[in-house]
Amino acid sequence: MDKIEQKYLQAVELIKKAILQSQYNAIRLANQEQLKLYFGIGRYISENSRNGFWGTGAVEIISAQLKNDLPGLMGFGVTSLKNMRKFYEAWATIEDKSATAVADLQNTENETIVIRQPELPNFGGFPLSEFMAVPFSHHIRILEKVKDRDERLYYIQITALSHLSKEGVIKAIDNDEFHHRGALPNNFLTTFPDPKSARRAIRAFKDEYLLDFINVEELDADDIEDVDEKVLEKEIVDNIRDFILKFGQDFLFINNQYAVEVKGHTFKVDLLFFNRELNALVAVELKRGPFKTAYLGQLNGYLTVLDDFVRKPHENPAIGLVLCKSADKSIVEYLIKDYNKPMGVATYRTKDEMPEKFRNALPDIEDLKKLL
């Protein structure tokens, strides 16, 4: 370390300058500036360490010298610098090459190298604001556990929209939420006025939901199905914030046992939501056991009542969801096609049905209630 090579000293000075400039800017744009800084440093390290310009152990040497020159500096250890390189390399192929984002690393004839905070990748429709809202540590967890680009963007988006913790991100990935999204058996394509709205509705729901806050012992305490469903409903209502986070973005809870009076009869919807993106009421019918054909007819009737007596003139037709313990997708898709109201059937799992390693990682139900 006494005779550190000139090229490493140059690297240390450049990274120091970039760090100090970024710290100043971070007062205004903390996370965005941090991601830009890490992306720029990641590119610099990638282009110099991958092509052999730097020797073996370069990242270790640079990290040690940074700590020596900037006492108390946090977040620039060897692992962190390598994570910055990983972050850049994951998104390098779609980096914004516009005039405002010319190469942030540039070798000139006199070998002066400039680290400039570049524009981050252009994802072609993916909201950059959501990408920039996700902390770097969350980005790294996603990159480590997910390889597919679209799947990575999905978890980035739900992290930004639902403010997931690192543990929450890992849990969503372990539960494979990406592949459950859009797999809901439904009749949306034939009941929505246009294909674009139908596809938006399909994306809004998953085919399976993990309700890990459900008290399974209470559900199994009585053999009477109606009583069991009341207990299930109570568990969800008591934990409605957690349920909405699992249910999806843009869902607003209206009420449980939502009653509508029609011609002397009372119709009660187990759970009634409103989805802002779909601009529609969403009726959820809870079923303790497996799917039954009669559930579709019951839900179709509820949607008729909601459309005629609850829906506002500017809103889209109400959407229905049967949430039951199990269902044969093929038979649901066969039966549901003949109904004229937009409906789908999803299933749920409780904590006891998760793999043991995931169950052990979950907080106690009482601790979770206190957090909520």
Residues in the chain: 372
Highest mean pLDDT among 103-107, 178-182, 242-246, 298-302: 298-302
As a whole number, mean pLDDT of residues 28-43 equals 84
Which range, of 173-177, 215-219, 320-324, averages the lowest pLDDT? 215-219
Residue that is last in its domain, among 174, 207, 239: 174
Predicted confidence (pLDDT) at residue 227 exceeds the cutoff of 60: no
Residue with structure tokens 């199905």? Answer: 225
- 151 with 194, same domain? no
- 113 with 127, same domain? no
pLDDT at 103: 40
Predicted confidence (pLDDT) at residue 357 exceeds the cutoff of 90: no
As a whole number, mean pLDDT of residues 130-153 equals 92
Closest CA to 220 of 208, 236, 231, 235: 231
pLDDT at 14: 84
Closest CA to 247 of 359, 161, 306, 353: 161
Task: Identify the CATH number of the domain in which residue 263 sits.
Answer: 3.40.1350.10
Instruction: Identify which has the larger pLDDT, 298 or 106.
Output: 298
As a whole number, mean pLDDT of residues 341-349 equals 94
- 191 with 240, same domain? yes
pLDDT at 53: 78
Give the number of domains in the chain.
Answer: 3
Measured between alpha carbons, how far is 133 from 110 in angstroms, rounded to an integer? 38
- 331 with 278, same domain? yes
Measured between alpha carbons, how far is 209 from 323 in angstroms, rounded to an integer? 9
Report residue 163 as tokens: 């403010």
Highest mean pLDDT among 113-127, 142-156, 224-238, 345-359: 142-156
- 88 with 220, same domain? no
- List the domain range (segments joined by +) for residue 137: 123-174
pLDDT at 151: 92
pLDDT at 124: 65
Instruction: Identify which has the larger pLDDT, 226 or 202.
Output: 202
- 39 with 69, same domain? yes
- 213 with 300, same domain? yes
Band the pLDDT of 362: cuts 50, 70, 90.
Answer: very low
- 209 with 345, same domain? yes
As a whole number, mean pLDDT of residues 168-194 equals 87
Average pLDDT of every residue of the chain:
81
Measured between alpha carbons, how far is 226 from 239 in angstroms, rounded to an integer? 20
pLDDT at 42: 93
Residue type for position 8: Y
Measured between alpha carbons, how far is 170 from 138 in angstroms, rounded to an integer? 9
As a whole number, mean pLDDT of residues 330-335 equals 94
- 166 with 237, same domain? no
* pLDDT tens digits for range 118-138: 556 666 667 888 888 899 999
Which range, of 14-28, 201-215, 272-286, averages the lowest pLDDT? 14-28
- 223 with 94, same domain? no
Strands 316-324 and 343-350 come out as parallel
As a whole number, mean pLDDT of residues 178-190 equals 87
Instruction: Identify which has the larger pLDDT, 182 or 319.
Output: 319
- 352 with 215, same domain? yes
Instruction: Identify which has the larger pLDDT, 293 or 158.
Output: 293
Residue 125 gets the label, from left (phi > 0), alpha (psi -120 to 50) or beta, of left
Cα 77 to chain center, whole Å? 28
- 145 with 213, same domain? no
pLDDT at 157: 86
C-alpha angle with apex 297: 295 to 301, nearest 5 degrees?
A: 115
Predicted confidence (pLDDT) at residue 102 exceeds the cutoff of 60: no
What is this structure's pTM? 0.58
Predicted confidence (pLDDT) at residue 12 exceeds the cutoff of 70: yes
Which residues is 344 bridged to in the sheet? 186, 321
Check the CA dihedral 112-118-123-124 and report its sign.
Answer: negative
